Amino acid sequence: MLALTGFAAGWHRGVPAVQDVDLELAEGRVLAVLGRNGAGKTTLVKGVLGLAPWRSGIVRLDGRRIDGWRPERIARAGIGFVPQGRGVFPGLTVEENLRLGALGSGRRRPEPALLARFPHLFERRDRPAEALSGGEQRQLSILRALAGRPRFLLLDEPSEGVQPTIVEAVAALLLELVEVDRLGILLVEQDLDLVLRVAHECLVLEDGRPVDWFSAAELAARPQRVEHYLGL
Ligand SMILES: Nc1ncnc2c1ncn2[C@@H]1O[C@H](COP(=O)(O)OP(=O)(O)OP(=O)(O)O)[C@@H](O)[C@H]1O
Ligand SMILES: [Mg+2]
């Protein structure tokens, strides 16, 4: 279980960029974090990872406090990160990106079966990441995070600027990771279709604070509830 209590992080115009966040993410669950541009979604994720400055509150991983830990220690404790944007080393090959993902999390090497999840990346394993399409780079970024064999995965807008076929492949992978591997996933997203496919619960951030909280079933029944938060 990854749990946040009264969590605040980052800095924006004299106040924390995200604050008052209480949430629990269990293994085998997907929690979506929604909110328009500048709402504080990235700051929340980076704050949990120790990459954005901690302001207040508590972060617990399986009951153990991890707030204040260095990012590399948090990664080794089992929390993986797929950053916003392409999130790969462009000049390194597909395979080298995966090796670094494993090393960065204290593993010797990635699981050999990892690349089998995306056969077109396996075929291009000796090519530099920059030779891949934007969507393939996003997939590689997810595999790189998985190379550290995390138990919790934090993804920052994986669908942003990516073609629908890639979003579909990402959705299928996330469902497999949750249902088969029992990962807990925190999914920052603005794409409601992806959220509806994979999430169990949703939290909405506005101006850095949680303003609404609902189940995926409630979202499916009444998507208008969230559309105005996203400016749709
Ligand atoms: N390094 C920084 N220095 C100053 N302000 C920042 C910094 N990073 C973010 N902010 C501000 O904090 C607020 C929250 O930003 P954040 O990037 O967390 O939002 P977001 O919800 O991820 O937005 P987007 O959907 O555009 O990715 C914004 O007002 C942003 O301008
Ligand atoms: Mg962001």
* 51-82 tens-digit pLDDT: 999 999 999 999 999 999 999 999 999 999 99
Stretch 139-160: mean pLDDT, rounded? 95
Q: Give percent above pLDDT 70 in the chain.
A: 100
Provide the pLDDT confidence category of residue 108 given band limits of 50, 70 and 90. Answer: confident
Pocket of ligand 1 (CB under 6 A): 10, 12, 17, 35, 37-43, 84
Q: Which helix (H) or strand (E) holds 3?
A: strand 2-9
Query: pLDDT confidence of 118, banded at 50, 70, 90?
Result: confident
Nearest to 42 by CA among 14, 16, 17, 12: 17
Domain ranges of the chain: 2-78+151-230, 92-149
Helix H or strand E encompassing 218? helix 216-221
Rounded Cα distance between 151 and 39, Å, is 26
List, for residues 198-225, the tens digit of each pLDDT value.
999 999 999 999 999 999 999 889 888 8
Cα of 151 to ligand 2 centre, how many Å? Answer: 22
Quote the ligand 2 centre to 209 CA distance (angstroms): 14
- Whether the pLDDT of residue 104 is over 80: the answer is no
pLDDT given at position 183: 97
When comparing pLDDT for 227 and 173, which is higher? 173
Domain 2-78+151-230 superfamily per CATH? P-loop containing nucleotide triphosphate hydrolases (3.40.50.300)
Cα 12 to ligand 1 centroid, rounded to whole Å: 8
Q: Which atom of ligand 1 is nearest to the CA of 46?
A: 18
**Residues 1, 12: Cα–Cα separation, whole Å:** 29
Tokens of 171: 């959705």
Q: Which residues contact 166 (CB under 8 A, 6 or more apart)?
A: 135, 136, 138, 139
Contact 145, 101 (CB under 8 A): yes
For 59, 138, 167, 173, 232, the CA distances from 197, given in Å and listed in that order, are 28, 18, 11, 12, 19
Classify residue 28 as exposed, middle or buried by CB count within 10 Å of its CB (0-12, 13-18, 19+).
middle
Identify the nearest ligand to the CA of 41 by its number: 1
Residue 149 C-alpha to ligand 2 middle, in angstroms? 24
pLDDT tens, 13-52?
889 999 999 999 999 999 999 999 999 999 999 999 999 9
Between CA 213 and CA 217, with CA 214 as vertex, the angle to 5 degrees is 165
- Integer Cα distance of 108 and 99 in angstroms: 8
pLDDT for the residue numbered 115: 85
pLDDT of residue 20: 97
